[in-house]
Structure 1
Amino acid sequence: MPQLLIDDLPIELVRKNIRSLRLTVYAPDGRVRVAAPLRTTEAAIHAFVASRRAWIQKHQAQFAAREQPAVLDFVSGETHYYQGQPLLLRVLPGPAAGRVQRTEPGFLDLCIAAGSPREQREKALNTWYRARLKEQLPALAARWEPVVGAQATAWAIKQMRTRWGTCNIRARRIWLNLELIKQPAACLDYVVVHELVHLHERLHNARFWGLMDQFMPDWRTARQALRAVHLQPCG
């Protein structure tokens, strides 16, 4: 990807068939990307970035302040999360493919063959997480689609590096980040409503946030909670 250096700030530049310049600061490292219309001059891009330097620095500072996620080995004694609740992992003898279960409050049991590699233990836990999120999707859709007045044609789950959710407006398909199952339920509700509102309004403009206020007045609390999370996609 082409790179620009604007006042000592490295910028990833991608040119697209779009009408206006777009600026994104990505977690976790605060890298900056500019999407520019095909014929935009470099001088115009420099001016655009310079005018938003304070905004860029603000978001880079927020990402830098986030608590770094613990490196997980998926062994007994680690803390893992489910719907915002910390659970102590216990790795116990079990089938080769692994099985996850909750038999006691505060504990998460991973039953798997002794000597299984880290990747296999991680995969078994992620399979359990995915199943838990998938089984919640029908109720989430039934709860929020009537409130928002918009219906998705399909809901899906995938691992995403920089987004909690995404919406294909034309296909009316919504994807949720698997990591959401580890966050409090209010955060999952917020992302569901956020993506449904995109079926009314594509952009994050005044109309979009006005609709968020209408459908979920306390959305800011959940968004702030998610902003404090350092996304670490499952393997």
Structure 2
Amino acid sequence: MSKTIQIGGLSVEVVRKAIRTMRVTVYPPAGRVRVAVPLRLPEETLREFVLSRQAWIQKHQARFAALPPPAAQTYSAGEPHYYQGRPYELRVHATTSRPRVVLTDEHLDLHIAESATAEERAAALNAWYRARLKEQIPVLLAHWEPIVGVRTEAWGVKQMRTRWGTCNIGARRIWLSLELAKKPPGCLAYVVVHELVHLHERLHNARFWGLMDQFMPDWRQHKAALQANPTGPQPTGDDAD
């Protein structure tokens, strides 16, 4: 259950959940603020927490406000679409066979029915992105699980609007955002390692970031690339990596 309250000039959506610590997230494009808090946390403690993070929140709201509005994608020929951090020009070819996507040096060739809608074209491209991630993720897990010293029981890919990945520690299962197919390869590796490290440490605390330094010393540059690259969601928050 959620409610919106005013704290220090900020409009804050408060969601009470069965968690132990507070988490704040700022969402694009308008800089919406959401705070997840334990069920019985006093409101006074919540307000103190938000005020202590006010400068951080406003910094990211300003960053989102400075970004140009994203162009709506129509999935028509000539439109740029990203794969592994590179833009490719979309070419659309009419076919009576099942939809398929072919990657060339400069183009994404989408073969689909001439009557296909923008939604159907998007679904075909997303199916191709999903297949590429499902090829890449097992290779990354085979490389990084021995380094991090953990093993996942299951993993999956799904569309996420506000996160790059999540980890269910009890089930030892990680989910990765479909949008990562559009990011540079190092970004995907960073999110995989990030979620694996959560199997050692649930919280984003000093121990967690120390483990990231130990296992992936260059994680900061990959996180910066993830946030700077012009494709996909751009969440900013304690629980939105």
Comparing 185-194 with 44-53, greater Cα deviation is found at: 44-53
Paired amino acid for 2:94: P
Task: Look up the match of 1:180.
Answer: 180
**DSSP-derived class of the 1:231 partner:** coil
Tell me the alpha carbon deviations over residues 97-143 of structure 1, each in whole angstroms, 9 at most, x when there is no partner.
421112x4111100111121111111111111111111112211111
Distance 1:183 1:19 in 2: 32
**DSSP-derived class of the 2:114 partner:** coil
Percent identical across equivalent pairs?
61
Distance 1:121 1:216 in 2: 37
**Structure 2 unaligned residues grouped into runs of 5+:** 235-241
Distance 2:111 2:208 in 1: 45
Cα 1:42–1:232 change in 2 (3 A) is: closer
**DSSP-derived class of the 2:64 partner:** helix
Tell me the alpha carbon deviations over residues 31-50 of structure 1, each in whole angstroms, 9 at most, x when there is no partner.
11222333333333222222
**Structure 1 unaligned residues grouped into runs of 5+:** none
Cα drift, residue 14 of structure 1: 1.9
**Which is bigger in relative contact order (C-alpha 8 A, separation at least 6)?**
2
**Aligned length, in residue pairs:** 232
CA contact (8 A) 2:162 2:233 kept: no
**DSSP-derived class of the 2:202 partner:** coil
Task: Look up the match of 1:88.
Answer: 89
Cα drift, residue 71 of structure 1: 1.4
Cα drift, residue 198 of structure 1: 0.6
Distance 1:82 1:64 in 2: 26
Distance 2:219 2:67 in 1: 20
Aligned CA-pair RMSD:
1.9
Distance 1:154 1:20 in 2: 26
Cα 1:17–1:173 change in 2 (3 A) is: closer
Distance 1:110 1:200 in 2: 42
Task: Look up the match of 1:138.
Answer: 138
Task: Look up the match of 2:218.
Answer: 218
Within a 5 Å distance, the mapping from 1:44-193 to structure 2 comes to 44-95=45-96, 97-102=98-103, 104-193=104-193
Cα drift, residue 96 of structure 1: 5.8
